[in-house]
Amino acid sequence: MLSFYGSSMSDTAQSVVADSHRLVVKVGSSLVTNQGKGIDRAAVAHWSAQIAQLHRQGKQVVLVSSGAIAEGIVRLGWPRRPTAMHELQAAAAVGQMGLVQAYEVAFAEHGIRTAQILLTHEDLADRTRYLNARSTLYTLLNLGVVPIVNENDTVITDEIRLGDNDTLGALVTNLIEAESLIILTDQAGLYSADPRNNPLARFISHAQAGDPELEQMAGGAGSNVGTGGMITKILAAKRAANSGGHTVIASGHEPNVLVRLAAGECIGTELRAELPIQSARQRWLSSHLRVRGKVRLDAGAVKALTDGHKSLLAIGVTEVLGDFNRGDVVACIDADGKEHGRGLINYSSADTRRIMGEPSHRIADILGSMSDPELIHRDNMVVNYPL
Ligand SMILES: Nc1ncnc2c1ncn2[C@@H]1O[C@H](COP(=O)(O)OP(=O)(O)O)[C@@H](O)[C@H]1O
Ligand SMILES: N[C@@H](CCC(=O)OP(=O)(O)O)C(=O)O
């Protein structure tokens, strides 16, 4: 249920951020670099002062900051954003120096140390690296440090990049089980259409994260500085809700926005988490934005997975797509190619091709031995999660 600005709900409700102890704050490229002109040091100082105030209230904050590429372009004196990946990566490497330096200086004013964390999709997809990233972040937070997170743009390729930091902010929210994700951008929040080209767009003050109506509202990115636009913020809210995280989308130009939100004031668009919360293992599986292969299921197997909460058996598989090994994450698709879930598969693609369509008791005869009766065990699978 959407609530437009000025409704009674926005007048009486208290911001979800008030009850949050652990927060992820994400700031977008346009905001950090003053629409691509170079790091906005006054804005960085303002956010740092607010985060310092939250620290004094006993809250823990992780800052996900974009802006490396935009700042690198300025530092390198390039007239426009390049399109070649290697040039974007070079710009990110140069600009990231400026970003972390600006945050370090700004937080030092308040006696707070910062730490640089550069993550890739692979770091979150690999179970050991995922757990390591989580334990490092917890350690830093307990030490009173503000981790400054960005995607490790210099080592990623097009196929594996997260691409926008809204998604990264949500994944970090899941990783550390933050209660709130605050996405600061150059708009006051979410409108019913892109306010830059639709003057009739209405402001949305409250909605439920994951409400499909929201996805219709997002236009493209507002400038050539930011990448995601609103759709990535809406999907990030849906993803953050997987671990119970509420999302607020608000303007980074709003005076004292973080402190006021933490004091309970409703500012921007609040997207509340009301989805069932996933287990830690399911969240890790959902954070795999890429899969190694796919298995196509017949209608009965799709129903068993989605309605029956059952494991996937070889008998329900009609086709195997791609090459994968035992233990890889594969997607489960239906006859039309729609994905219904994904999980850790117990057999390689070659073995799966040999046993598909067969009952489990035949596996040992066909392969010579049977490691597991299920192709994907229920505990290693996540079904109907946000894509
Ligand atoms: N429904 C919408 N409501 C608000 N902004 C929208 C909407 N659809 C598209 N946008 C655009 O999304 C832009 C913010 O996304 P983006 O430029 O990626 O910023 P950031 O760098 O902060 O992530 C806004 O400037 C706006 O033009
Ligand atoms: N990792 C990239 C950020 C990607 C990006 O542009 O994100 P955003 O501005 O948040 O839409 C950078 O630091 O330039």
Q: Which ligand sits closest to the CA of 207?
A: 1
Integer angstrom CA distances of residue 209 from 103, 245, 273: 30, 9, 5
> Tokens at residue 104, please?
């370090």
Nearest CA to ligand 2 atom 4: 164
> Tokens at residue 313, please?
């058996």
Instruction: Provide the CB-side half-sphere exposure for 377 (13 A, CA).
Output: 9
pLDDT at 8: 38
33 known ligand binder? no
**Tens digit of pLDDT for each residue in 234-279?**
999 999 998 899 999 999 999 999 999 999 999 999 999 986 677 7
Cβ atoms 3, 207 nearer than 8 A:
yes
Cβ atoms 241, 235 nearer than 8 A:
no
230 known ligand binder? yes
Q: Is the CB of 69 under 6 A from ligand 2?
A: yes
ipTM value for the complex: 0.97
Nearest Cα to 151, choosing from 243, 216, 89, 75?
89
356 known ligand binder? no
Tell me, yes or no, if the pTM score tops 0.90.
no
Cβ atoms 317, 296 nearer than 8 A:
yes
pLDDT in tens, the chain (387 residues): 666 554 334 445 788 899 899 999 999 998 999 999 999 999 999 999 999 999 999 999 999 999 999 999 999 999 999 989 899 999 999 999 999 999 999 999 999 999 999 998 888 888 888 889 999 999 999 999 999 999 998 887 765 577 689 999 999 999 999 999 999 998 999 999 888 888 899 999 999 999 988 988 876 555 555 566 789 999 999 999 988 999 999 999 999 999 999 999 999 999 999 866 777 777 777 777 778 899 999 999 999 998 878 899 999 999 999 999 998 899 999 999 999 999 999 999 999 999 999 999 999 999 998 888 999 998 888 887 654
The C-alpha atoms of residue 108 and residue 348 are separated, in whole angstroms, by 51
Beta bridge mates, 326: none
Nearest CA to ligand 2 atom 10: 28
Query: To 10 degrees, what angle do helices 85-108 and 68-75 make?
Result: 100
The C-alpha atoms of residue 46 and residue 79 are separated, in whole angstroms, by 29
Q: Which residue has the tokens 């219904």?
A: 340
Q: Which numbered atom of ligand 2 lies nearest the CA of 70? A: 14
Return phi, psi of residue 4, to 5°.
Answer: -80, 160
Cβ atoms 355, 366 nearer than 8 A:
yes
| Domains contained in the chain, CATH given | 3-282 (3.40.1160.10), 291-383 (2.30.130.10)
Return phi, psi of residue 215, to 5°.
Answer: -65, -20
Q: Is 292 helix (H, G, I), strand (E, B) or coil?
A: coil
Q: Is the CB of 65 under 6 A from ligand 1?
A: no
Nearest CA to ligand 1 atom 27: 222
DSSP state of 117: E
310 known ligand binder? no
pLDDT at 6: 40
The C-alpha atoms of residue 142 and residue 137 are separated, in whole angstroms, by 9
Cβ-proximal residues to 321 (8 Å cutoff; 6+ apart), any chain: 293, 294, 295, 296
Q: Is the CB of 165 under 6 A from ligand 2?
A: yes
pLDDT at 212: 87
Tell me, in angstroms, the distance from the centre of ligand 1 to residue 175's CA.
25
Neighbours of 362 (CB within 10 A): 14
| Complete DSSP assignment for 19-75 | G-SEEEEEE-HHHHTTTTTS--HHHHHHHHHHHHHHHHTT-EEEEEE--HHHHHHHH
pLDDT at 383: 86
CA 372 to chain CA mean position, Å: 33
Residues in the chain: 387
Q: Is the CB of 223 under 6 A from ligand 1?
A: yes
